[in-house]
Amino acid sequence: MAHKRPMSVHVDELKSFNLFSAFGADGRLKVPRPTAQDLESDEEEDLEDLKAKLSGPSKGKGKAKTAQKRKQKKKKYDDSDEDEEVVDLMASPPRKAYENLVNGDSPSPPPPPEFDDQMVAEIRRKNRGAAQTIHNLESRMRSYQMSKAIAAMDNVSPVKNSPSEFIDLNAAIARETITIKVRSRKGLLRFEDYPMNQTFEKIFTELGVSEGVEGRRVRITRKGDNLLHEDTPSSINLHIADILDYVIVDGVTPAIVWYSTTLTEEDYVRVTLRTREKNCKTITKKLAKMETFETVFQAFSELHNKPIHQLHFSFDGDDVAPTATPQDLDMSEENVIDVIIL
């Protein structure tokens, strides 16, 4: 591969030479093209050289003369061996010359601004404010994303199971019969396989027969609540562990005292039953001081179509049982018993 020689020009030729205009848009060096006159002179010299070769050795002097003439003519395009200063266009220009060239074409950059302490403090304050704003935005974004995640978890549909897979431990066992236990002076009485939908009338009768009294004088209670003859184990939600109690009302004397002709007006009191419920009526009865509240409570129950165990009676803030009497509560002439429907 042939070695390319760098093109060199004389210093005298660079006096009016513009370094930036010496290269084209493609980055190549612009070389002046020879004129038509130069081309014609080159052809003449080539003809002279050809003639010299044909004439033989005797013409060597003309050949040398022609070569010398060509050398002088192409002096400005070729390298010279003389001690003249030559500048290589392919080499980088000297740093000093380049700096002078740049400084001459472009203005010097402006000096950096000077910041005083107040301006620096203001810039720092704004930077801290911006950082705090970004921190608050990030916190709110995290909170929003967390709330969306929680909402998505709440919207997850639960696993659907068939009803047969659930067992309600608190649900009452559906029974057709039950064993009813009644506490008495003779011990615990049991009524085996008693139908759940049968009234307690049979038990009232059997207890009255065992005590030698009528069934209406038997009082059966469960945890302080009186049972009616028409109640059933199912209606009062009776459990197998429940134990009933009973007493005999006025079972000591064969006669009822409120029918005695020996009673005076002072032996009676007026009792009024009232409730604060809407559309409920008030009942007022005249009772003997030794008479129980059973009859008046029963009348109030039938009037409002409510069983007695769903009614709560109180006098001066104290609970009143159906087996109690006005004498037990130390009632005077006019008395009011408050009723609450449960």
Residue 241 inside a domain? The answer is: yes
Residue 75 vs residues 79, 187, 238, 283, 312: alpha-carbon distances, Å: 7, 152, 137, 149, 139
Rounded mean pLDDT, 285-300: 84
More confident residue, 10 or 265: 265
Q: What is the CATH number of the domain that holds 303?
A: 3.10.20.90
Residue 25 inside a domain? The answer is: no
Residues 94-122 pLDDT 10s: 555 445 544 555 667 777 666 667 777 78
Looking at the structure, tell me whether residues 183 and 250 fall in a common domain.
yes
The DSSP symbol for 56 reads -
Q: Which of 48, 68, 101 is the last residue of a domain?
A: 101
Rounded mean pLDDT, 283-289: 84
The mean-pLDDT minimum among 18-32, 117-131, 277-291, 300-314 falls in: 18-32
Please give the residue range of the domain that contains residue 196.
173-254
Looking at the structure, tell me whether residues 45 and 79 fall in a common domain.
yes
Residue 160 inside a domain? The answer is: no
Looking at the structure, tell me whether residues 261 and 299 fall in a common domain.
yes
Looking at the structure, tell me whether residues 261 and 331 fall in a common domain.
yes
Give the pLDDT band of residue 36 (cuts 50, 70, 90): low
Looking at the structure, tell me whether residues 280 and 331 fall in a common domain.
yes
Looking at the structure, tell me whether residues 275 and 224 fall in a common domain.
no
What pLDDT is stored for residue 151 in this prediction? 75
Q: Is the confidence at residue 302, as pLDDT, over 80? A: yes
Which two three-digit tokens encode residue 39? Answer: 């081309």
Name the average pLDDT for the chain: 71
Bridging pattern class, strands 243-248 and 177-184: parallel
What pLDDT is stored for residue 208 in this prediction? 84
For the chain, what percent of residues have pLDDT higher than 90?
7
Looking at the structure, tell me whether residues 272 and 318 fall in a common domain.
yes
The DSSP symbol for 240 reads T
Residues 255-266 pLDDT 10s: 344 444 456 778
Helix (H, G, I), strand (E, B) or coil at 20: coil
All residues at 6 or more sequence positions from 340 whose CB lies less than 8 Å from its CB, including other chains: 275, 276, 311, 312, 314
Residues 239-257 pLDDT 10s: 888 989 888 876 433 334 4
What pLDDT is stored for residue 84 in this prediction? 46
* 267, 291 contact by CB (below 8 A): no
Residue 82 inside a domain? The answer is: yes
* 256, 242 contact by CB (below 8 A): no
Q: Which of 216, 234, 254 is the last residue of a domain?
A: 254
What pLDDT is stored for residue 259 in this prediction? 42
The mean-pLDDT minimum among 78-82, 148-152, 201-205 falls in: 78-82
More confident residue, 111 or 284: 284
Q: Which residues in 73-202 belong to E strands, given as ranges?
A: 86-88, 177-184, 187-195
Give the pLDDT band of residue 177 (cuts 50, 70, 90): very high
Looking at the structure, tell me whether residues 245 and 263 fall in a common domain.
no
Q: Which of 254, 281, 313 is the last residue of a domain?
A: 254
Residue 140 inside a domain? The answer is: no
Rounded mean pLDDT, 159-165: 50
Task: Count Cβ neighbours within 10 Å for each residue of 37-47 and write b for 16 or more, e otherwise.
Answer: eeeeeeeeeee
Structural domain tally of the chain? 3
Please name which of 310, 297, 314, 307 lies closest in space to residue 249, comparing C-alpha atoms: 297
The mean-pLDDT minimum among 211-215, 261-265, 267-271 falls in: 261-265
Cα dihedral 210/216/218/223 (nearest 10): 140
What pLDDT is stored for residue 56 in this prediction? 58
Rounded mean pLDDT, 35-64: 60
Q: Is the confidence at residue 24, as pLDDT, over 50? A: yes
Looking at the structure, tell me whether residues 276 and 341 fall in a common domain.
yes
* Maximum average pLDDT range among 2-11, 16-25, 159-168: 16-25
For the chain, what percent of residues have pLDDT higher than 70?
57
More confident residue, 84 or 289: 289
Residue 151 inside a domain? The answer is: no
Residues 128-146 pLDDT 10s: 878 888 888 888 888 888 8
What pLDDT is stored for residue 133 in this prediction? 86
Residue 23 inside a domain? The answer is: no
Rounded mean pLDDT, 55-71: 54
